[in-house]
Amino acid sequence: MNTAAIEQGAYARGGQGRIRSPLTVRELLTPVFYYRVEALLGFLIPVALAVIAIFMAHPIYTAQSRLLILLGDDYVFRSDLSGGAQGLSFDRAQIVQAEIQILSAKELRIQAIRKIGLARAYPSLANEPKGLDKAADQLSKDLDIVNIPQSNVIEISLQSADPQVAADLLNTLVKLYIERRRLIFEQADPSLVNAQRDQLNKRLEQVEEKLLRFSVDHGFGDYPTELTTVQTQQASLASQIQVLDQQLAARSGRVSVLSKWLKSAPPEVEISNDKGRSQQLDDLTRTLLDLQNQRRQAAARYVEGYPLIVDLDRKIAEVQAQIRAAPQQQVVAVRRGVNPVHQQLDTELADSVGDLTGLRLARGQAARDLQAVTTRLAELVQIGPEYRELMRQRSMLEDGFGELAKRAQDTGLANTLSKAKANVRIVQAADPPVKGSSGRMVLLLAGLALGVATAVAVIVISSAFSDVMITPRDVEQKLDVPVVLTVSADDKVAARRRGQPGSVSRASFLGYDDAKLLLRLLTSVAPGPGRVMQLVAANGGEGVSSLLMDLAMMAATANAKRVLFVDIEPTVEDSAIQAFAESGAKLSRVSADRIGVKGTSLHITLPMGAGSHALSETEWETFFREARRNYDVVLVDCPALERSSASLIFAPLVDMNLVVIEAEATRAAVARNMIERIEGAAGDVTGAILNKRGFYIPRAIYSWL
């Protein structure tokens, strides 16, 4: 089953430009058959456990009961029993779901178990601590409550190992449920309502007492009236002060004007007077006569122009001027009295001052009153929240008290009506089941399904964590190099255990098509003339020498090419010449350092590269240059990298490097390290050969796929 991998259309390019082989059904099934023992073990363990569980399973009996839920007034809330107010109702699904929740209550399950008896219902839990709670939880698992679609019917199923216990426990649960729902749907307990009403009445009295004490402490009878009155007084006083301020301004101006007028008016005025000849005129006349007499006496004694005469003339002229200016008459007697204008102004001023004083006093009193009213208003505003809170409490308590009083009456009537009718009917009571179910088929199917899942998981995990490579796709995924050729193991290797490399010396054979493929690949890589190819392996015994020997013989015989087989650093007992001789080839010496195979154009070099046959890198370049001229194909057989690094020296000198991977033996980490070392030595890895591949899929299935 050799596989030539480099064929037209047989590969697809991956995201990094690497060649990838297509994923086939054979690739998927190969791990299944390869890990068949582990997968079979993973499959059999769950199946075996399921079989054990089947033999240990006991029959389980299921009792059933059905309830009919009538759509009555239980789920319609009304504020009163008169029916005048529109009620709030629920739809059918909500009502049935509510009934199921009542049936599923843990308290109901505990009561049913107590009534039947814990030792009878669940004997295994009778002596355990908190056995009743555990039994209630187990009953929840054994109990199945479902609503039959498109109906008001609830189906209840209960599983138990005892058919009679299943029927009795289920019927008891239904009876307790009917009683329980009646208690739930009672409007309320009348005694509880009355107690709440009395409690609210007591609280209402306490709030009333607080309100009375609050009103007395703050001096008001009705807070809203008091607040309105104080606000009105504040506004009135503010308006009054404004008017008084205007009047004060007017009176102050009047007093100021009257004061000015009073100062300008004399207190007394002249009433009458008596007039006569002016005394001043008489005095001036007498003075004039005396001056004229003195003038005459002086004129008699002195000449004209004398200073005395001149002075007397001047005085005479002055007196005459004063006589002419003086009044002819004067007041001899004057009679005076009180000025009436002054007296009236004084009276009006006194009145205005009095009014001003009165207005000032009134304004001061109004200001004090306004301050008191403002203080009172601030006090009322400050205590307002507390008063309103007390009023709110009283209002709430009054409303609650009235509502409770009404509810007490409604509750009594509602409880009377609820006892007279019930909205649940038992359609089918539970009977002891005749036939039980052990669930063996379910256990078997579950075991088979789990076994298949476990087998698949074993295969997937084994494939993911395996470090060896089985198929070409494993090589490509783990090494990121294309597989150019897969060579199947022979029948001897097919019998060996996986993971044991090199157990048979000649484990695989290269076919004619495989050799042709490799030569075509070498030709495409190196057009020629003279092409050099090297096969590299990480470990010994992976088949490098065998593959090169097969390729050399086929190239030299079938393709009639001149082939040089370069044997590098062989072991003493494992040289290429010895291997060809053991395979039956007839050898003859063609030169001092080469042996030829008779009947072919294949030449084999004597062991090179070690000891006295060691060459420098320049000498190797010269060697390969001459070999290219003389031969069509040069095949280099180097030892494994674990023994020698010679292949790294030839990696950049050859035309094509192919790594040989032994299926099921070469570890991926070792192979990756080998490729990295070749590339680090400036070589280029063209691809990989998967050697000694085992085909675990049966031939009939493999051929059919």
Q: In this structure, how many other beta carbons lie within 10 angstroms of the beta carbon of residue 42? A: 22
The pLDDT tens digits for 326-376 are 777 776 666 777 778 888 878 888 888 888 888 889 889 988 988 998 888
- In a 3-state reduction of DSSP, which class is residue 356? helix
Task: Report DSSP letters for 109-146, one per residue.
Answer: HHHHHHHH-HHHH-GGGTTSTTHHHHHHHHHHHHEEEE
Q: Measured between alpha carbons, how far is 46 from 454 in angstroms, rounded to an integer?
A: 8
Lowest mean pLDDT among 216-230, 265-279, 688-702: 265-279
Q: Measured between alpha carbons, how far is 454 from 464 in angstroms, rounded to an integer?
A: 15
The rounded Cα 513 to chain-centroid distance in angstroms is: 63
Give me 375's structure tokens. Answer: 């203080």
Report the relative pairing of strands 656-662 and 531-537 from DSSP bridges: parallel
- 8 A C-beta contact, residue 88 and residue 73: no
Q: Measured between alpha carbons, how far is 248 from 358 in angstroms, rounded to an integer?
A: 9
- 8 A C-beta contact, residue 518 and residue 54: no
Task: Mark residue 339 as left, alpha or beta (left: phi above 0; alpha: psi -120 to 50; beta: remaining).
Answer: beta
- 8 A C-beta contact, residue 403 and residue 239: no
For 161-314, strand residue ranges (E) read 268-277
Burial 335-358 (b: 16+ CB within 10 A, else e): eeeeeeebeebbebbeebeebbee
Exposed, middle or buried: residue 374 (CB in 10 Å: 0-12, 13-18, 19+)? middle
- 8 A C-beta contact, residue 241 and residue 247: no
- 8 A C-beta contact, residue 519 and residue 6: no
Q: What confidence score (pLDDT) does residue 499 get?
A: 45
Give me 58's structure tokens. Answer: 């006991």
The pLDDT tens digits for 289-325 are 888 888 888 888 877 888 888 888 888 888 888 888 8
Residue 245: which residues within 8 A CB-CB, separation 6 or more?
363
Exposed, middle or buried: residue 318 (CB in 10 Å: 0-12, 13-18, 19+)? middle
Lowest mean pLDDT among 378-387, 630-639, 669-678: 378-387
Report the relative pairing of strands 531-537 and 633-637 from DSSP bridges: parallel
Q: Measured between alpha carbons, how far is 392 from 44 in angstroms, rounded to an integer?
A: 79
Give me 630's structure tokens. Answer: 């003389």
Residue 697 has pLDDT above 60, yes or no: yes
Residue 496: which residues within 8 A CB-CB, separation 6 or more?
503, 504
- In a 3-state reduction of DSSP, which class is residue 632? coil
Average pLDDT, the chain: 81
Task: Mark residue 69 as left, alpha or beta (left: phi above 0; alpha: psi -120 to 50; beta: remaining).
Answer: beta
Residue 11 has pLDDT above 50, yes or no: no
Q: Measured between alpha carbons, how far is 610 from 639 in angstroms, rounded to an integer?
A: 11
The residue count for the chain? 705
**Is cis: bond before 267, omega within 30 of 0?**
no
- In a 3-state reduction of DSSP, which class is residue 550? helix
Q: How confident is the model at residue 608 (pLDDT cuts 50, 70, 90)?
A: confident
Q: At 48, phi and psi to the nearest 5?
A: -65, -45
Q: In this structure, how many other beta carbons lie within 10 angstroms of the beta carbon of residue 599? A: 10
The pLDDT tens digits for 117-157 are 888 888 888 888 888 888 889 888 888 999 888 888 889 99
Report the relative pairing of strands 633-637 and 563-567 from DSSP bridges: parallel
The pLDDT tens digits for 178-211 are 888 877 776 555 667 677 778 878 888 888 888 8
Question: How far, in Å, are 41, 525, 528, 672, 681 from residue 655 at the CA level?
Answer: 49, 7, 10, 21, 14
Question: How far, in Å, are 58, 63, 119, 139, 425 from residue 165 at the CA level?
Answer: 16, 9, 11, 12, 23
DSSP code, position 151: S
Give me 125's structure tokens. Answer: 């839990």
Dihedral in degrees, nearest 10, Cα atoms 388, 394, 400, 406: -130
Look at 176 and 265; give whichever has higher pLDDT: 176
Q: Which helix (H) or strand (E) holds 380?
A: helix 340-420
End-to-end CA distance of the chain: 13
User: Taking Cα atoms as reference points, which of 188, 166, 155 lies closest to residue 66?
Assistant: 155
Q: How confident is the model at residue 82 (pLDDT cuts 50, 70, 90)?
A: very low
